[in-house]
């Protein structure tokens, strides 16, 4: 038996590993299983190049839990190690890396600490985050020479033992004696959870325990149906050949959908379409990205892309690795050029990650362009489901805007779709304001703003439907991009005021008449946020209309979604009470001698206008209903 002391320049690092890495202690299993996979893959490579001529046999990696004896084992049949290799890789290289890690780890921020884990080959020594003692039982694949099996043991102090032992099979067995403060890792459900999280797509089969499955008996029941029986089989955790590792030409649409269901078993909606990534220069990147139907709450949408490094799960929080708007996609990206356990700040400044991010954005925009050009009708059908995603990209990424501006669509209230250029041609002869700016009219709610939409359509104008969660932000962005253009919600003002009209309607009420009526309306409203004004509209327009100034309403709407305008959300709503000076009822109010009747008419017309904007509630609504019944009775 060889006894020794690991060369420790600083104090004992094991308690430090445990203390500093405690929040991340679950990664120990990922590290150990990944090491086992590496050892197995190396043996496969040696066999393929004729440097190993033995039988490969069953290469399944086994994870074994013994709650009674408080042990967790990771067993592989890979290349194994000689005593010299254990001394070199475990006592010297891995440990010195761990020691260097600790020196750099002290005094760092949490983000920088995370960036260091793994980077220094800490892998094996992460075992001491959960174990009070660790054993390595290993036998090399090499024949002849010093090829006896060896056992290395360490109890979390700098002392270790290394001795020869009998072991029938090649490969390595890591035995963790779980510490009392880490008993959660003696629970089967916890180990299963970690294996499914980190090892779900590793390229070598991982077995953990047994599971019951239904199997045909070969017999039929009395109705002629197949009979089944429950049998116990080894539980294989992983799919060793996931779709993203295969050639696109070998996969059907159904294969892609099945893989999506494998990734998201609780998502019952099929994706709209997918992109298969496969790059080997100037960086390595594979993966499949899916376009889901984007929900109204885009925060719920995030954290759905899974990042892997050589099929080892890293994270499903990929901000900094892909542009922010692409975090709305689902799927997998895998790149050995993105290291394990890295901080956001590291990722955002890494040159390889930036190249990968730009490539993904280009592939996404190319796919959208391909669908748009090849099948415009299909693209229009998908538009309502992908609109938020494209808008988000166009707002946040200038490069994406350049690509997407040719395929982004407007949809009008009649359900017709237009590209930006097509829509400009559609309205440029009819929809200009007094300053000769092109006016894009839009609605955020077809039902609520129906009367205003109809008034616009009667005058030959077109109205866009802009009811998405990002539309307010998108409108602001387009106003900055489009020349000599403004956007106005269809109820932002009376249509004749928004859009220049050649034949201005003469008013039936002179200024003196208007001054007599104005106090009647102001007295009833008696609210600081209502501004009374008279306009000479068509006789067929409503007698009283309530509009909301475009700027204030838009800023308040944006503040609700979060756009750095929180103070806007605290301001009271502001409205214009527009009195149509050409409507016969307004003239009747002016000539009415009975003050009570005059006041009731003002109240009724004003409340009707407020009701049309869903502004009449509570006691005021009750009074309006009672007054309406009284008026009908008279």
Structure tokens at 361: 């954005």
Place of tokens 């029986």: 229
301 or 437, which is more confident: 437
The whole-angstrom separation of Cα 14 and Cα 263 is 37
The pLDDT score that the predictor gives to residue 215 is 87
Instruction: Using alpha carbons, list the distances in angstroms from residue 560 to 474, 529, 550, 551, 588.
Output: 15, 20, 16, 15, 42
| Contact (CB, 8 A) for 171 and 138 | yes
DSSP class of residue 94 equals I
The whole-angstrom separation of Cα 447 and Cα 488 is 17
The whole-angstrom separation of Cα 90 and Cα 80 is 13
The pLDDT score that the predictor gives to residue 248 is 93
Q: What 3-state DSSP class applies to 578? A: strand
227 burial (CB, 10 Å; 0-12 / 13-18 / 19+) is exposed
pLDDT digits (tens, 9 = 90+) for 295-308: 665 655 555 789 88
pLDDT digits (tens, 9 = 90+) for 21-40: 545 788 899 989 999 999 99
The topology (CATH level 3) of 243-380 is: Ribosomal Protein S5; domain 2 (3.30.230)
Least confident of 144-158, 213-227, 324-338: 144-158
The domains of the chain are located at 2-208, 243-380
- Can you list the alpha helix ranges (DSSP code H) found in 207-338? 253-263, 298-301
For residue 481, list its beta bridge partners: none
Least confident of 209-213, 350-354, 586-590: 350-354
Place of tokens 């890293």: 314
Summarize the confidence of residues 404-426 as an average pLDDT.
96
The pLDDT score that the predictor gives to residue 115 is 42
The whole-angstrom separation of Cα 308 and Cα 62 is 22
Summarize the confidence of residues 43-63 as an average pLDDT.
92
Print the SS3 string covering 449-487.
CHHHHHHHHHCCCCEEECCCCCHHHHHHHHHHHCCCEEE
In the chain, the percentage of residues whose pLDDT exceeds 70 is 85
- Evaluate if residue 117 carries a pLDDT over 50: no
Sign of CA dihedral 37, 336, 120, 24: negative
The topology (CATH level 3) of 2-208 is: Heat Shock Protein 90 (3.30.565)
User: How many CA atoms lie less than 13 Å away from 345 in the CB half-sphere?
Assistant: 8
pLDDT digits (tens, 9 = 90+) for 183-222: 999 999 999 999 999 999 999 999 999 998 888 888 888 8
pLDDT band at 344 (very low <50, low <70, confident <90, very high): low
Print the SS3 string covering 172-231.
EEEEEEECHHHHHHHCHHHHHHHHHHHCCCCCCCEEEEEEEEEEEEEEECCCCCEEEEEE
- Evaluate if residue 165 carries a pLDDT over 50: yes
């Amino acid at each position: 038996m060889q006894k020794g002391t690991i060369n420790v320049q600083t104090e004992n690092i094991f308690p430090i590993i445990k203390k500093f890495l405690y929040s991340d202690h679950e990664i120990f299993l990922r590290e150990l299983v990944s090491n086992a996979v590496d050892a197995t893959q190396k043996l496969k490579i040696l066999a393929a190049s004729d440097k190993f001529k033995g039988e490969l046999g069953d290469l399944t990696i086994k994870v074994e839990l013994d709650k009674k004896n408080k042990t967790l084992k990771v067993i592989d049949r890979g290349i194994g190690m000689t005593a010299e290799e254990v001394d070199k890789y475990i006592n010297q290289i891995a440990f010195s890396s761990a020691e260097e890690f600790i020196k750099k780890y002290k005094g760092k921020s949490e983000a920088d600490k995370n960036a260091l884990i793994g980077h220094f080959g800490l892998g094996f020594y992460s075992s001491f985050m959960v174990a009070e003692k660790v054993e390595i039982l290993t036998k090399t694949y090499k024949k002849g020479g010093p090829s006896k099996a060896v056992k290395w043991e360490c109890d979390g102090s700098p002392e270790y033992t290394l001795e020869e032992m009998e072991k029938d099979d090649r490969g390595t067995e890591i035995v963790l004696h779980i510490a009392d403060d880490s008993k959660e890792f003696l629970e089967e459900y916890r180990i299963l959870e970690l294996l499914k999280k980190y090892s779900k797509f590793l390229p070598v089969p991982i077995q953990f325990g047994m599971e019951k499955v239904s199997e045909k008996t070969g017999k039929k029941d009395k109705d002629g149906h197949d009979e089944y029986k429950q049998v116990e089989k080894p539980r294989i955790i992983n799919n060793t050949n996931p779709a993203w590792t295969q050639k696109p030409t070998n996969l059907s649409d159904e294969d892609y959908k099945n893989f999506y269901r494998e990734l998201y078993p609780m998502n019952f909606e099929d994706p709209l379409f997918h992109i298969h990534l496969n790059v080997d220069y100037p960086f390595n990147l594979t993966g499949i990205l899916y376009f889901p139907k984007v929900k109204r709450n885009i925060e719920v949408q995030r954290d759905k892309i899974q990042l892997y490094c050589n099929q080892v799960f890293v994270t499903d929080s990929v901000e900094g690795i892909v542009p922010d708007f692409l975090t709305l996609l689902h799927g997998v990206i895998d790149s050995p050029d993105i290291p394990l356990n890295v901080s956001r700040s590291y990722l955002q400044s890494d040159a390889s990650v930036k190249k990968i991010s730009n490539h993904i954005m280009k592939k996404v925009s190319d796919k959208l362009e391909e669908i748009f050009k090849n099948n415009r009708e299909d693209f229009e059908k998908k538009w309502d489901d992908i609109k938020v995603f494209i808008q988000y990209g166009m707002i946040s990424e200038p490069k994406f805007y350049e690509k997407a501006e040719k395929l982004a669509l407007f949809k009008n209230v009649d359900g017709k779709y237009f590209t930006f250029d097509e829509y400009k041609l559609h309205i440029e002869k009819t929809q200009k304001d007094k300053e000769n700016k092109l006016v894009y009219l839009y609605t955020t709610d077809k039902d609520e703003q129906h009367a205003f939409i109809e008034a616009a359509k009667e005058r030959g104008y077109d109205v866009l439907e802009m009811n998405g969660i990002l539309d307010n932000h998108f409108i602001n962005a387009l106003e900055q991009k489009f020349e000599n253009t403004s956007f106005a919600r269809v109820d932002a003002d009376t249509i004749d005021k928004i859009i220049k009209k050649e034949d201005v309607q003469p008013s039936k009420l002179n200024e003196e008449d208007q001054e007599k009526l104005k106090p009647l309306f102001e007295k009833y409203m008696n609210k600081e946020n209502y501004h009374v004004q008279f306009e000479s509209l068509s006789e067929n327009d409503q007698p009283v209309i309530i509009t909301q100034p475009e700027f204030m309403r838009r800023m308040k709407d944006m503040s609700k979604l979060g756009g750095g305008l929180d103070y806007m959300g605290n301001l009271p709503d502001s409205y214009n009470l527009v009195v149509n000076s050409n409507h016969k009822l307004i003239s009747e109010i002016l000539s009415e001698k009975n003050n009570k009747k005059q006041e009731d008419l003002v109240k009724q017309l004003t409340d009707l206008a407020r009701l049309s904007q869903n502004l009449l509630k509570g006691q005021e609504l009750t009074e309006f209903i009672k007054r309406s019944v009284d008026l009908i009775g008279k």
